[in-house]
């Protein structure tokens, strides 16, 4: 019986751009010989990472989606087309993550595309805002190509391969499978569970390339989150590159700060499972990265304080920012919390947009194929 991860492969249109692929004289014959579908469309969710103390460990999918459509045929160059805001400057060649995701699937499946194909991306996830746009691009392209191949590549194998490109396993895993996931280092061939509702099949592991951990591998662990929780985003109309935000972080931290963050994360995970406001509030603190990043983006701290003052259980940076995330109960003053956040941004001369979300539990899903 396939796992829910394998049942929920998704496709979605997002954005177009171009890179070259070889043509063939008889495209219809080539398609039949390689047993390919002719078109597929998937949906891939945005993700938020860290949730305060879970730096490079926690990733969660949100109900905000890109769609990616892949289709065989077209001119001698494959067309990668984007629709949506802020897409005009995205690369149009094979450096684009959507294209790299698709090519990763074809490589793992042992397939050489017999003729050009187009990728259409409906870009709804804001770019460079700390909402996993890079992970969504890679997973979206990979899953769309996989849908054409009738899921020839296991989803966890795709996450493993895509980690070598992007590196943020927690966001790639959340985008692929949905829900809240944690990334842990474990000895090779660990006996852990597949992050599916059935919790039966052993997971594949994602090799960790860092030299200090060369004998260990990353594994994805699913974590429960109460359905009553809502996730409020304040998204500034300005970007903050992940590389720049990460470059600001210290190379070392104190033993005391490391221990404190373990306590915060433990409280947070218990709070998320039971929708406990006190535990979420105690847990959404951080000693590793947020204070340093606030030096790059001082308005962030004020926005988080405004969210808490208005009744949010807790608040934190979303990924590397500059989006700020607050957590509240579905019956809470969520609109008021969001308004307080964007008003605080406005007080710092920053325009921002507010939106309220649930956790996505499906991950990347196939919407259609033919």
What rounded mean pLDDT belongs to the chain? 82
Give the CA-trace dihedral at 71, 75, 78, 81, to 10 degrees: -70
Predicted confidence band at 178 (pLDDT cuts at 50, 70, 90)? very high
- Judged by phi (left if over 0) then psi (alpha if -120 to 50, else beta), residue 131 lies in alpha
Question: Under CATH, domain 229-357 is a member of which superfamily?
Answer: GHMP kinase, C-terminal domain (3.30.70.890)
Rounded Cα gap, residues 135 and 30, in angstroms: 31
Higher pLDDT, 350 or 247: 350
Domain boundaries along the sequence of the chain: 4-174+360-369, 229-357
State the pLDDT at residue 138: 98
State the pLDDT at residue 115: 63
3-state secondary structure of 230: strand
Q: Would you say residue 62 has pLDDT above 50?
A: yes
In sequence order, the β-bridge partners of residue 293 are none
State the pLDDT at residue 216: 57
Identify the weakest region by mean pLDDT among 28-42, 46-60, 136-150, 163-177: 28-42
pTM of the model: 0.82
Average pLDDT over residues 279-302: 85
3-state secondary structure of 347: helix
Determine whether 252 is exposed, middle or buried from the number of CB atoms within 10 Å of its CB (0-12, 13-18, 19+).
exposed
Give the CA-trace dihedral at 265, 199, 201, 10, to 10 degrees: -80
Q: Is 182 in contact with 221 (CB distance < 8 Å)?
A: yes
In sequence order, the 6+-apart residues with CB closer than 8 A to the CB of 7 are: none
Higher pLDDT, 279 or 27: 279
For the chain, report the end-to-end CA distance as a whole number of angstroms.
23
State the pLDDT at residue 255: 84
Q: Would you say residue 120 has pLDDT above 90?
A: yes
Q: What percent of the chain has pLDDT over 70?
A: 77
Predicted confidence band at 243 (pLDDT cuts at 50, 70, 90)? low
Q: Tokens 């003053």 sit at which residue?
A: 333
Q: What percent of the chain has pLDDT over 90?
A: 56
Q: State both tokens at 173.
A: 């895993």
Predicted confidence band at 64 (pLDDT cuts at 50, 70, 90)? very high
State the pLDDT at residue 91: 84
Q: What is the pLDDT of residues 315-327, one digit of tens each?
A: 999 998 899 999 9
Higher pLDDT, 242 or 221: 221
Q: What is the pLDDT of residues 66-118, one digit of tens each?
A: 999 998 876 555 578 898 888 888 887 788 999 999 999 999 999 876 567 88
Q: State both tokens at 17.
A: 């751009």
In sequence order, the β-bridge partners of residue 49 are 59
In the CATH scheme, what is the code of domain 4-174+360-369? 3.30.230.10
Identify the weakest region by mean pLDDT among 10-14, 233-237, 282-286: 10-14
């Amino acid at each position: 019986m396939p796992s829910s991860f394998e049942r929920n492969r998704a496709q979605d249109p997002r954005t177009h751009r171009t890179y070259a692929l070889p043509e063939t004289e008889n495209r219809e014959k080539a398609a039949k010989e390689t047993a390919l579908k002719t078109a597929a469309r998937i949906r891939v969710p945005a993700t938020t990472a860290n949730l305060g103390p879970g730096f490079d460990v926690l990733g969660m999918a949100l109900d905000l989606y890109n769609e990616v459509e892949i289709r065989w045929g077209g001119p001698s160059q494959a067309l990668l087309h984007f629709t949506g805001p802020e897409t005009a400057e995205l690369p149009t060649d094979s450096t684009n993550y959507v294209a790299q995701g698709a090519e990763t699937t074809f490589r793992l499946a042992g397939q050489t595309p017999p003729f050009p194909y187009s990728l259409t991306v409906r870009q709804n996830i804001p770019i460079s805002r700390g909402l996993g746009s890079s992970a969504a691009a890679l997973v979206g392209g990979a899953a769309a190509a996989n849908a054409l191949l009738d899921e020839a590549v296991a989803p966890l194998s795709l996450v493993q391969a895509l980690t070598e490109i992007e590196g943020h396993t927690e966001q790639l895993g959340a985008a692929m499978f949905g829900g809240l996931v944690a990334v842990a280092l474990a000895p090779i061939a660990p006996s852990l569970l597949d992050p599916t509702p059935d919790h039966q099949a052993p997971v594949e592991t994602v090799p960790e390339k860092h030299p200090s951990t060369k004998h260990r591998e990353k594994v994805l662990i699913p974590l429960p989150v109460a359905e009553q929780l809502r996730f409020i985003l304040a998204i500034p109309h300005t970007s903050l590159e992940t590389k720049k935000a990460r470059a600001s972080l210290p190379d070392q931290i104190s033993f005391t700060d490391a221990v404190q963050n373990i306590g915060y994360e433990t409280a947070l995970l218990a709070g998320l499972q039971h929708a406990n406001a006190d535990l979420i509030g105690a847990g959404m603190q951080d000693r590793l990265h947020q204070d340093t990043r606030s030096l790059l983006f001082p308005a962030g701290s004020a926005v988080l304080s405004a969210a808490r003052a208005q009744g949010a259980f807790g608040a934190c940076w979303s990924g590397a920012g500059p989006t700020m995330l607050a957590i509240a109960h579905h019956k809470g003053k969520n609109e008021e919390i969001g308004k307080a956040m964007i008003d605080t941004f406005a007080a710092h001369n920053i325009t921002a947009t507010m939106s309220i979300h649930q956790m996505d539990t499906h991950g990347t899903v196939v919407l259609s194929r033919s």
